[in-house]
């Protein structure tokens, strides 16, 4: 049997181990977020950004153009050309769809699982089949561009796909 004399040796406690695991997890998460922020659209590791780390204007324009084509093929039957609305669905160029009230995640969710009627009297929106997440990002980019052009919001004050 070994006898410890003098200063008591501190053995790692459950609390100390949990704390170090949490710190390690947070560091790993931060590293992942930093690396993810450096990924370009093609996943090559090139940033695809300019200036203060925002998506380049060329990239935003390409996303919006692709988004317009996808919107016209998948959304315009109800939401109208240029998201102006129809008798089947509301305009998306309205302050109720401001990104501060309906962030991009809510649009992704509406496309994925549908949405119950809550602002208008058009009825429930069914999910939209066949669109992948990048497709929805492009559609959102197109709609946000239309909203900016029509004064719904200005600049990049809100996190959006574009």
Query: Which pLDDT value is given to residue 2?
Result: 45
With bands split at pLDDT 50, 70 and 90, how would you rate the model's confidence at 7? Answer: very low
pTM: 0.65
The whole-angstrom separation of Cα 22 and Cα 30 is 12
Per-residue pLDDT reduced to its tens digit, 10-67: 444 444 444 454 544 444 444 444 444 433 444 333 333 344 445 587 798 999 999 9
Instruction: Please state, for a pLDDT cut of 90, what percent of the chain lies above it.
Output: 57
The CATH number of 56-149, from 3.30.497.10, 1.10.760.10, 2.60.40.10, 3.40.720.10, is 1.10.760.10
158/161 Cα distance (integer angstroms): 10
Give a three-class secondary structure readout of 73-110.
Answer: HHCHHHHCHHHCCCCCCCCCCCHHHCCCCCCHHHHHHH
Single out the residue of 43, 70, 42, 56 nearest to residue 156, CA to CA.
56
SS3 category, 10:
coil
């Amino acid at each position: 049997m070994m006898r410890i004399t003098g200063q008591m040796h501190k053995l790692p406690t459950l609390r100390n181990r949990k704390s170090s695991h949490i710190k390690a997890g947070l560091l790993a998460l931060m590293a992942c977020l930093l690396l993810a922020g450096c990924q370009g659209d093609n996943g090559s590791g090139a940033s695809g950004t300019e200036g203060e780390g925002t998506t380049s204007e060329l990239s935003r324009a390409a996303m919006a153009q692709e988004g317009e084509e996808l919107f016209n093929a998948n959304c315009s039957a109800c939401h109208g050309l240029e998201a102006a609305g129809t008798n089947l669905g509301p305009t998306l160029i309205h302050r109720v769809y401001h990104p501060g009230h309906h962030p991009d995640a809510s649009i992704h969710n509406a496309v994925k699982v549908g949405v119950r009627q809550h602002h208008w009297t058009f009825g429930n929106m069914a999910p939209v089949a066949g669109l992948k997440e990048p497709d929805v990002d492009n559609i959102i980019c197109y709609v946000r561009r239309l909203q900016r052009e029509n004064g719904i919001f200005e600049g990049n004050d809100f996190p959006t796909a574009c």
